[in-house]
Structure 1
Amino acid sequence: MSMQSILVVEDEEKIARVLELELEYEGYKVMKVYDGFEGLQQLRERSWDLVLLDVMLPGMSGVDLLRRIRSGGDLTPVIMLTAKDELKDKVEGLDLGANDYVTKPFQIEELLARIRSALRTTAAPQAESENVMKVADLSVNKSTHEVFRGEQLIQLTAKEFSLLAYFMKNHRQVLNREQLLQHVWGYDYYGDTNIVDVYVRYLRNKMDKGYEPELLHTIRGVGYVLKDPR
């Protein structure tokens, strides 16, 4: 079994170092960063099994970081760390999608137990979540072929679904017409390449028109990209 990875976003270097040592002793792979922007960059560059996130951070607060990653569809388990002990602070973090909340100073044994609990909770639905791709409030279920924008079910044809699924798989990557033709229509397709533009227009009318933010963008002279612009 591969080592589970934990990202520690904590600006107090002594606390971050203690967490690193304790977690590595327990068999986790650990990276520590000291501000919210660096934490956001690490979350965008690779996948993590869990994040320990301090609330009070320089640059971007832990709450703002949590809001950014959840709005982008990132469901990585997050345990908030804070010196605050007020109910409203805990409620805010949990409402934004935190999995748990630990108040400083904490006993390392309690934190480790909460980490194990969060990892167990997210491991159970992992197989199902692998079939669901999300960008912002757009979700695509590869097993059921269902597409939702928020709570609204979007009806797509089989080809429209295949095109959207390929965009979702490669979200934030600019895809040109040749790539889309090869992967969605097949290598033996010899029709008009404008078919891509036609189907992109179909998709936009169904999944972007009337919704905020718009997710499917044209990069002039290059192709198309699916991304949350926020």
Structure 2
Amino acid sequence: MNILLIEDDPRIADFLQRGLRAEGLQVQRASTGPEGLTLVLDTVRQNKPDMASTVVVLDLMLPGMNGLEICQTLRSQGVTIPVLMLTALSTLEERVAGLRMGADDYLCKPFEFEELLARLEALARRGQALQNVRPKHLHVADLILDLESMRATRAAEALNLTARELALLELLMSAPGRLFSRERILSSVWGLNEDPLTNVVDVYIRRLRSKIDDGRPVPLIQTMRGLGYRLEAPPEAQA
């Protein structure tokens, strides 16, 4: 689960960040309203693979832009990430206002950390259910990845890929033309605990390229030296 934490009280923010990370969750943090809005919108634009399990934890009272304004702005721009709003104000009017502005749940301070976790897990499940409209196939030129059977073909020829190669291919095909850094690939496919100095990404890119591109007239995997990798079809192959 990926948590976007928008909280201006450093004591509360530090406590939540430590606790959530101790539970194995990823946490990104902002301390003002404008910073928080930018954090959420940037996350949406990046369209990360973990978007379906992303939840915003949003304080109501923030400098620069309050939680209600942030929530209303997100919903007006079509952002559907679940929002859990935190507030020291527990009046019915405040809770109703937050829900009407698009918040998915409300938690009043002070709260028990276990309750926060339970609410986040429920919101993440709801977000994943809404994301179940994901396509059944990914297409780039004549390369097809069936996301249900996790089988790949190129020009109708089956590709014999390992589980890790399939995960790498799914990441690259999820955003054709997008440049993925080695660090981003390592984090997404191997996890945050992998040694950042390892060359495993380069090794698997070579393996994947040998199975997808070798002997083909149109190569799809491109190396941007010093920057990373992307998968896309040249314009002439984009029919």
* 1:27-176 equivalent positions in 2, closer than 5 A: 27-47=24-44, 49-128=54-133, 130=134
Count of residue pairs brought into register by the alignment: 134
- 1:195-216 CA distances to partner (integer Å, 9 max, x unpaired)? xxxxxxxxxxxxxxxxxxxxxx
- 1:35-92 CA distances to partner (integer Å, 9 max, x unpaired)? 1100111112114501100000000001000011110000011000000010011011
Query: What is the RMSD of the two structures over their aligned residues, measured on CA atoms?
Result: 2.3
TM-score, with length taken from structure 1: 0.54
Question: Match for 1:117: what amino acid?
Answer: A
DSSP-derived class of the 2:29 partner: strand
CA distance in 2, matches of 1:106, 1:125: 28
CA distance in 2, matches of 1:80, 1:108: 14
DSSP-derived class of the 2:38 partner: helix
DSSP-derived class of the 1:39 partner: helix
How far 1:187 moved relative to its partner? 5.1
CA distance in 2, matches of 1:56, 1:107: 20
Is 2:19 the counterpart of 1:22? yes
Following TM superposition, where does structure 1 have runs of at least 4 consecutive aligned residues deviating by more than 2 angstroms? none
Question: Match for 1:65: what amino acid?
Answer: I
DSSP-derived class of the 2:132 partner: helix
CA distance in 2, matches of 1:53, 1:25: 20
CA distance in 2, matches of 1:124, 1:76: 12
How far 1:125 moved relative to its partner? 2.5
2:220 corresponds in structure 1 to: none
- 1:165-219 CA distances to partner (integer Å, 9 max, x unpaired)? xxxx9xxxxxxxxxxxxxxxx859xxxxxxxxxxxxxxxxxxxxxxxxxxxxxxx
Q: Which residue, out of 6, 13, 21, partners 2:3? A: 6
Question: Match for 2:129: what amino acid?
Answer: A
Listed as ranges, the gaps of 5+ residues in structure 1 are: 132-168, 170-185, 189-230
DSSP-derived class of the 1:117 partner: helix
1:214 corresponds in structure 2 to: none
How far 1:100 moved relative to its partner? 0.3
